[in-house]
Every structure is written in structure tokens, then in C-alpha cells.
Amino acid sequence: MKTLRDLGDVDGKRVLVRVDFNVPLGDGAVADDTRIRAALPTIEELRRRGARLVLVSHLGRPKDREPELSMGPVSERLAELTEAQVTLAPAVIGDEVLALAEDLTPGNILLLENVRYEPGEPKNDPALADALAELADVYVNDAFGAAHRAHASVVGPTRFLPAAAGRVMAREVEVLDGLLHRAKHPFVAVLGGSKVSDKLGVIEALLDRVDTLLIGGGMCFTFLAARGHTIGDSLFEESMVDTCRRLLKSGHDLRIPSDLTVLSPGGAFGAGVAPTGETRQVGPNVPDGWIGLDIGPGTAAEFADVISEARTVLWNGPMGVFEDPRFAAGTRTIAEAIAATKAFTVVGGGDSAAAVADFGVADRIDHVSTGGGASLEYLECGDLPGLSALRESAQA
């Protein structure tokens, strides 16, 4: 896969960069600019090399062209983060946009409107890809978080323009590919989050590669049920029980919780809710009507021990409903164990990344992936549509 280095001279050239500026908004402003800041190394390198930049991203899932999902707030934040002059285009494509792109001076930025304002984007419409390619001489894809979608702005311009991966993309692929093919052992994966069905592909892909797989979060209850434990009203996916039973019997070192933190029947839980109900620690059997919402302290300590012996650790998915302080302890213990180990550590998944940020340990993790769905799909399949498009790009 080509990277920025392989692009050669871009001085004075227009470079279309697919970025991932799909940021959370609040009160008409960018609420968390992590993704914008992540793209700065690529943007700044191309500016230093004299490129004229056309940036394109999606934002949310607009059904129509709702103004609440305009790139306006992103454009304002981007202007604050770079010395460049940032112009927000009035649309994604069209004559007016083309004229703005042609007028760009070196080092300056034209940010296109939300690419999902175009119905051709999710359909991978070649006409949209062609119109985007018209705006530039070179295409760079730095939107790792969107690389699992075969959308027009992600895979299309590579058919028309010389193409390369930006710095975010190149680093993500280097790390995740390293996990799949060059991990140092013991290699420990910690998986949690809400659903087994969301993560089954990753579990299956990882089982043959890791030495130990630690399972917590909502998904552990289907495993506990498969082993014959009672799970009360905890999250449960009946259709996955047979699969979980098969995985438990596969002979791999797959560990599920031996204790849990549970909430009494009718208790309210979650981010920002008024906490009601009683919490209790139980062996892995959950009493009738109670809900398991975190791994227990014994399990957290056991998992932390396994992590401390590892040379490679991959973590995806919180161990409990960490948004509620009563059920955050398991996730915090794991986050701190991962921060403390000398192993090479990778965290993937939107909520897991939020958890390590919340607990203040993000800078002690070797790599926090910017793409939730994309990193899982890469681990599962070893490739993504956006990456294969870059590799197969006709030119460059």
C-alpha cells in the first residue's frame, strides 16, 4: 500500500484527502475534536509539501441534507487547529465547488460539505466518485474509521487518481497487521462490550492467534449461560448459546468471569441516571431478576494478572456498564492493568477508547485505534474495502 512518501512531488497539486471528521457535536459545536486532531499530521505534512488540500468526510447519518449535520462546526474547529485558511464548500460537488477548488492556493484547505448529503455516497455511485476526483490531482485516504465501508468517497477516487494512505491509515494498518501476524507471545485479548453477535467474528479470528482470551461485558452472560450458570435478567442472546458452548469447548484458554457485580430487580442504571436499586457481588450465578452489570473484583484481579504477564494485549469492549460509576470498577481495573504493563498494548472500539480517556490512561497505551467498526473488521478479515481500493489504485 502506498503512503504519503510514495506520492512524490505534490507541490502546487490539489490533493483530495478523505478524512474521518465524524465527530460528536453539541450545541452547534464540535464536542470532541480527537478525530480532527488525529488527521493533523497528514494535513500538515501535505501543506508543508505545498499541496492545495480538498478535504472530504461524512458526519453522522443524514437522511436528507439536514443543516444540523453540516460540516460548519468542523470547519471552524479545523481553522482553529491549523494556520491554514479553511473554506467550507457550499456543497459536496458541483460547479461552485470546482471553482473553489481551482482557486485554492498552496497550503490552504477547502472542506467539502458532509459527503453523505449525496445519496450516491453509500451506494458507491461512480458518478459521485468521478465528480470528487475532478476536484483534485491526487487522492489520499486517511479515514481509517470509514475504511470498512465501500462508499464512493472511500473507494471511488482510487479508480481515477494516483492514491495513497495518509498517516492515520498507515499507522492503523501497521499496528493491526502486526497484531494478526507478528504479535509477541503471550498475546492476550480482552473482549467485552454489549453483544456476542457483534464480536463473534473477531472472537473466532483471534482464538487461534492469542494465548488467552478474557471475556467480560454484556457478552459474558451468554457464555455463562452456555456453561449452565443462571444469569437473571442480564443481557442474553439465545441464538448465540450453541456458538458460545462450542467456543468454550474448543480447547483454547478462554476465560469468563467467576464473579460479578449485579443490580437488584427494577434498579435503574446507565449514564447519568439517578441510581436506584441495590448492588451486590455474586459468584457467577446471578439471582432471579437481578442484572449483571460488571465483572466482579475477583475476576478483575485475575484478568489484570493475566494482562501483567502478557507481551501483547488487545482490548475491545468495556467490562461493564462503565458509564454508571457503580459498574465502572472492572473496566477501570483492566484499563489500569493495560496502562501499567510493558507489553505492546492496543485498544480498539469507540466505547473502549472513551473508557481509557475517562480513566486518564490513554497516553500510556501504545495504540488507541480511531476506528471502532473498522478495527474489528480488519482483525476479522485482515483487509478492508478502503485498503484494497488503495492497493489496486490504477496509478501512482
CB 155 within 8 Å of CB 386: yes
- Residue from 113, 142, 323, 377 binding ligand ADP (CB under 6 A): 323
Q: Which of 35, 52, 167, 255 is catalytic?
A: 35
Q: Which of 195, 311, 326, 364 is catalytic?
A: 195
Active site annotation includes 195: yes
CB nearer to Mg ion: pick between 214 and 353: 353
Active site annotation includes 270: no
By CB under 6 A, the count of residues binding ligand ADP is: 20
Q: In this structure, what is the dihedral angle of CA atoms 338, 339, 342, 344, given to the nearest 10 degrees?
A: 70
Q: Please name every residue paired with 54 in a beta bridge, in sequence order, or none if there are none.
A: 16, 110
Burial group, residue 31, by CB count within 10 angstroms (0-12, 13-18, 19+)? exposed
Active site annotation includes 245: no
φ/ψ of residue 213, rounded to 5: -120, 120
CB nearer to Mg ion: pick between 130 and 351: 351
- Residue from 62, 232, 318, 385 binding ligand ADP (CB under 6 A): 318
CA distances from 174 to 38, 247, 383 (A): 16, 29, 12
CB nearer to ligand ADP: pick between 39 and 335: 335
CB 47 within 8 Å of CB 84: yes
- Residue from 41, 350, 358, 362 binding Mg ion (CB under 5 A): 350
CB nearer to ligand ADP: pick between 299 and 352: 352
The CB-of-236 to ligand ADP minimum distance in angstroms stands at: 10
The CB-of-29 to ligand ADP minimum distance in angstroms stands at: 24
CB nearer to Mg ion: pick between 201 and 350: 350
- Residue from 125, 351, 358, 383 binding Mg ion (CB under 5 A): 351
- Strand ranges inside 192-228, DSSP E: 212-215
Does residue 380 belong to the site contacting ligand ADP (CB under 6 A)? no
Burial group, residue 273, by CB count within 10 angstroms (0-12, 13-18, 19+)? exposed
Nearest of 177, 172, 176, 174 to residue 144 by alpha carbon: 172
What secondary structure does DSSP assign to 3-49, as a single string?
BGGGG---TT-EEEEE------EETTEES--HHHHHHHHHHHHHHHT
Asked whether the bond before 297 is cis by omega within 30 degrees of 0, the reply is no
Site string for ligand ADP, 210-249 (x = CB under 6 A): -------xx----------------x--------------
- Residue from 177, 351, 358, 383 binding ligand ADP (CB under 6 A): 351
Active site annotation includes 228: no
Q: Which stretch binds Mg ion (CB under 5 A): 149-157, 172-180, 241-249, 349-357?
A: 349-357
Nearest of 354, 379, 390, 395 to residue 177 by alpha carbon: 379
CB 103 within 8 Å of CB 52: no
Residues near ligand ADP (CB under 6 A) are 192-194, 198, 217-218, 235, 292-293, 316-318, 320-321, 323, 349-352, 372
Enumerate the active-site residues: 35, 195, 350, 373
